[in-house]
Structure 1
Amino acid sequence: MTTRTDEAAASQPGLPARDNPLARIALRFTAFTERWLPDAFGFVLVGTFVIFALGLLTGEKIVGAPADPKATTGYGLVDAWGKGFWSLIQFTLQMAMIIIGGYAVAVSRPVARLIARLAQIPKSPRAAIAFTAAVAMLTAYLNWAFSLVFTAILAKEIARLVRGVDYRALGAMAFLGLGTVWAQGLSGSAALQVASESSSPAPVQEVIKAGRGDSGLIPLTETIFLWQGIVATAIIFLIAVAMAWLLAPSPGRAKTAQDLGIELRPLLEERSADTTDVAAARGGGRRPGDWLEYSPLFAILIFLLGLWYLARYFANAKGNPLNALDLNTVNLILLLLALILHWRPLRLVDAVRRGAPAASGVLLQFPFYGGIFGMIAYTGLAKTIAGWLVDISNAFFYPAVIAIYSCVLGIFVPSGGSKWVIEAPYVIEAANQLQVHQGWMVVVYDLGEASANLLQPFWMLPTLAILGLKARDIMGYTFAMFLACFPAVLFLVTLFAQTLGFPR
């Protein structure tokens, strides 16, 4: 096995560590989180009662429900919690499937070979951490779900090859795409929703039309493809990579996977061993009935059938085909890719079996986040919070205020952008009144939403499951990254807002 290290530092662990101030800060944050932070499930339990208490303080009633069972406002906190508890059940299954599908793609032989080659690029612990951060953000820009799985597996392989690299820092950087650029990328939920007539609810379209005067939709050219948004995303990318380089601790103070009791096996060897074990367990394909599991025939036919459907689906999409992207379409694409990349159905079944544990945190915690969502969305609490922010704002500061609002709310309701449909009417209405560019407010909301992920562990769950880490192991690093990136977000959204007019 080929390994690399800073030989001098690694061979003399008794020497004083030469960490820069940022690395020392990250290590202090990490020491604090390792000692005091609960596991990810603890966050949602505490968050539930934080929001309940906030509702009481703002005058929300404890119980009560409107006469119309289809109403989305007027509930008391208890009833709102119950109404919201299962409100994200479809989203829960979509998220579980996207994690499992992304895992199945990432561990297929062709992608595993790609990961193994990429893992050989960084030559030192510091370069390994910065490289992982860059890959995480680039892949998250394309698709956040694939990024979570792909970069986590890449981080494991890098940790195996590069001695002296801090496994906790690698884990934090593998997640970085979800805390920076994902919502401004091709899978950004809010931008895709407001660009599609079928995805954007009528109340949202009405308030958009009131400000534009022509259409109730905001095209992607006025959100994620604004040059201001692209430049802001690029700047955040550069800041995050630079921070990743600076945050890396010296080998003398790093905690490797071995230090944490985590065994790392070569990725390609692991894939080969797993496939052999499955084949042996099923008799090695000797039974006539095993032919279907080993033959690629139906995998190819199903892939072609799916490809035919997707070609028709995107061809029939109105306007930009990207507007037709939604979670169901992304899941279908991932499963089709996994099927053809694994080639034999037996290998895909095995990959899904091994990927399912990565979705366990989502299956358990999403209903409880749905309860928090209900207490915010089905009472008057969301409008109360937004009203506070709008009251203290003006046209100049409104983008920064909404970025803060989106970030704060995202800590308690990490919905991946789905809560935008609840907040869009008053966020856009306030933008109309203050004459702020509507599309830019979608960009602002997305950047704030992504930043929240650095402060709470919900979306870290798939990455943590693959790496064998706990949230407290990496949150010291993600918090240090937040302190660098979020102020930059606030500055950029305020600066670029001045270059945009109010479209009519």
Structure 2
Amino acid sequence: MLNRLSRPAVRLVERYLPDAYVLVLLLTLVAAIAAMAVERHTPLAVLRMWGGGFWELLGFSMQMLLVLVTGFMLASTPPVKAMLVRLAALARSPGAAIVLVSLVSLLASWINWGFGLVVGALFARELARQIHVDYRLLVASAYSGFVVWHGGLAGSIPLTIATDGHFLADTMGVVPTSRTIFAGYNLAIVAALFVLVPLVNRWMLPPGNESVVHRPDAERITAVPAAQSQPADRLEDSRLLAWIVGLAGVAFLVDHFVGGGGLNLNVVNFAFLMLAIVLHSTPRRLLASLAQAIRGGAGIVVQFPFYAGIMAIMVKSGLAVTLSQAFVAIADADTLPFWSFIAGGVLNVFVPSGGGQWAVQAPIMVPAAEALGADVAKVAMGVAWGDAWTNLIQPFWALPALALAGLKARDIMGFCLIQLVVTGVVIGAALLWL
């Protein structure tokens, strides 16, 4: 049944979903027009909001580019490639490959979202080399695991409100993770998705004659050996230099975790880079890997500033507040977590940032929760799950995975659309009734 349902969804998306760059241009126009029509701002005011916010994600853009580059460099090292090959060998059929990549992505994303994006895409590439399976669904399955990230160990909203001195601490206090990440309803959602997401992906598997099979070329990091007559050449082929620097980085990571440090995007990127330095053995091999890795980063470099501009329009014009208030107006104490989830999902299409979204919605949702007598922790997790949910159809977060896989958004979003419906029902029901 799901295979039959996925066919029209895939055809619809392939026909009408433009390239991710064109989509961000269209979203920019939609946000600008809405700011003028709904919030009554002048075109000049909206233009200033857009241009003023255009470069506000530069730091994050660099982080995401490094997710792509460092993940690729690490995956192209001989030990990691061998490990991926052995793990992929566990899948003996197309269906098993879909289930396995879904589970690996779910687990990695629950641990850390940046880790999950890279691991899922790289594992999908390796599976595609070994198994005759629809490559579009394989990559979509790898990306679909990302839906659990905000209910996992690196969820930005639950970790923010569990931190002393967060910006709403005077209003809602400090909310421990026992009431958010490790609350019964949240663990139930995560457990249900760990079962349903792989099954739904498996049930969408096209028959062999309809599968789009692709075998990614193996990365061959075979830099031309340099003559050893020049000191500079010897440095580029120096294992000692690479190991000193790389192992120093590994030592820093050990000290970081022993000292109680957590796993965030900077730590993930640092770990990937240092391990890549050590496992590539020489600077020359690392640079050859970097030359291959950087090719897929164009989408991130160009598109993320446009999303920063959209976010600025949504926040500064008041559109984000108006949207949140519209859902609060129809909620009561029992349904506010659900409507927070829906509001978060809609807003995430235009403001694809968990932390940024919470900064916008929290000043509306938290007072509403207190006025209605709703569970403020559950309302916060409603926003968090809404943010994670519509990432399934938001190319913003898919860009690194798509670059690693060598696909476009339209190739996978038809399958992700089915997952959007299924996971939306599960998450929404849990927030209403658990």
Q: TM-score range by the shorter chain?
A: over 0.9
Separation (CA, whole Å) in 2 of partners of 1:433 and 1:227: 24
SS in 1 for 2:331: coil
1:374 to 312, 333, 351: 312
Q: 1:312, CA displacement in angstroms? A: 5.2
Cα deviations by residue, 1:276-308 (Å, 9 ceiling, x for unpaired): 2x133xx26564322322223233332343345
- Tell whether 2:261 aligns with 1:292: no
Separation (CA, whole Å) in 1 of partners of 2:69 and 2:257: 24
TM-score (norm 1): 0.81
Instruction: Please give the residue correspondences for 1:162-173 in structure 2 after superposition, counting only pairs within 5 Å.
Output: 162-163=131-132, 165-173=133-141
Cα deviations by residue, 1:334-355 (Å, 9 ceiling, x for unpaired): 3222222323222222222222
Partner of 2:159: 192
Instruction: Please give the residue correspondences for 1:349-388 in structure 2 after superposition, counting only pairs within 5 Å.
Output: 349-388=287-326
Separation (CA, whole Å) in 2 of partners of 1:357 and 1:494: 45
Instruction: Please give the residue correspondences for 1:34-433 in structure 2 after superposition, counting only pairs within 5 Å.
Output: 34-62=14-42, 76-163=45-132, 165-178=133-146, 180-197=147-164, 200=166, 204=167, 207-212=168-173, 217-257=174-214, 264-265=216-217, 267=218, 270=219, 274-276=220-222, 278-280=223-225, 283=226, 287-310=230-253, 313=256, 321-322=261-262, 325-433=263-371
Length, aligned pairs only = 434
Partner of 1:10: none
Residue identity in the other structure for 1:37: L
Q: 1:313, CA displacement in angstroms? A: 4.7
Quickly say closer, same or farther: Cα 1:315–1:170, change in 2 above 3 A.
closer
Quickly say closer, same or farther: Cα 1:425–1:208, change in 2 above 3 A.
farther
Quickly say closer, same or farther: Cα 1:293–1:223, change in 2 above 3 A.
farther
Separation (CA, whole Å) in 1 of partners of 2:66 and 2:432: 37
Cα deviations by residue, 1:97-139 (Å, 9 ceiling, x for unpaired): 2221222222222211111111111122222222221111111
Separation (CA, whole Å) in 2 of partners of 1:368 and 1:454: 20
Residue identity in the other structure for 2:171: A
Cα deviations by residue, 1:29-83 (Å, 9 ceiling, x for unpaired): 111211221011111111111112222232331257xxxxxxxxxxx32221112
Is contact 1:144–1:177 with CA below 8 Å preserved after alignment? no
Q: Give the structure with the higher percent helix.
A: 2
Q: 1:185, CA displacement in angstroms? A: 2.1
Residue identity in the other structure for 1:291: R
Q: 1:447, CA displacement in angstroms? A: 1.5
SS in 2 for 1:256: coil
Residue identity in the other structure for 1:437: D
Quickly say closer, same or farther: Cα 1:351–1:219, change in 2 above 3 A.
farther
Which sections of structure 2, spanning at least 5 residues, go unmatched? none
Is contact 1:151–1:174 with CA below 8 Å preserved after alignment? yes
Separation (CA, whole Å) in 1 of partners of 2:57 and 2:355: 12
- Tell whether 2:28 aligns with 1:28: no
Question: Over the residues paired in the alignment, what is the CA RMSD in angstroms?
Answer: 2.2
Q: 1:28, CA displacement in angstroms? A: 1.4
Q: What percentage of aligned pairs have identical amino acids?
A: 34
Is contact 2:337–2:381 with CA below 8 Å preserved after alignment? no
Separation (CA, whole Å) in 1 of partners of 2:235 and 2:153: 36
TM-score (norm 2): 0.93
Q: 1:451, CA displacement in angstroms? A: 1.1
Separation (CA, whole Å) in 2 of partners of 1:44 and 1:109: 37
Is contact 1:137–1:181 with CA below 8 Å preserved after alignment? yes
More divergent stretch after superposition (338-347 vs 39-48):
338-347
Is contact 1:60–1:77 with CA below 8 Å preserved after alignment? no
Quickly say closer, same or farther: Cα 1:123–1:423, change in 2 above 3 A.
same
Q: 1:415, CA displacement in angstroms? A: 2.2
Separation (CA, whole Å) in 2 of partners of 1:358 and 1:194: 35
SS in 2 for 1:86: coil
Which sections of structure 1, spanning at least 5 residues, go unmatched? 1-20, 65-75, 258-262, 497-504
Separation (CA, whole Å) in 2 of partners of 1:434 and 1:404: 18
Which structure has the bigger radius of gyration? 1
SS in 1 for 2:208: coil
Is contact 1:99–1:145 with CA below 8 Å preserved after alignment? no
Quickly say closer, same or farther: Cα 1:329–1:167, change in 2 above 3 A.
closer
Is contact 1:60–1:381 with CA below 8 Å preserved after alignment? no
Quickly say closer, same or farther: Cα 1:118–1:49, change in 2 above 3 A.
same
Quickly say closer, same or farther: Cα 1:242–1:54, change in 2 above 3 A.
same
More divergent stretch after superposition (394-403 vs 143-152):
143-152
Separation (CA, whole Å) in 2 of partners of 1:130 and 1:434: 42
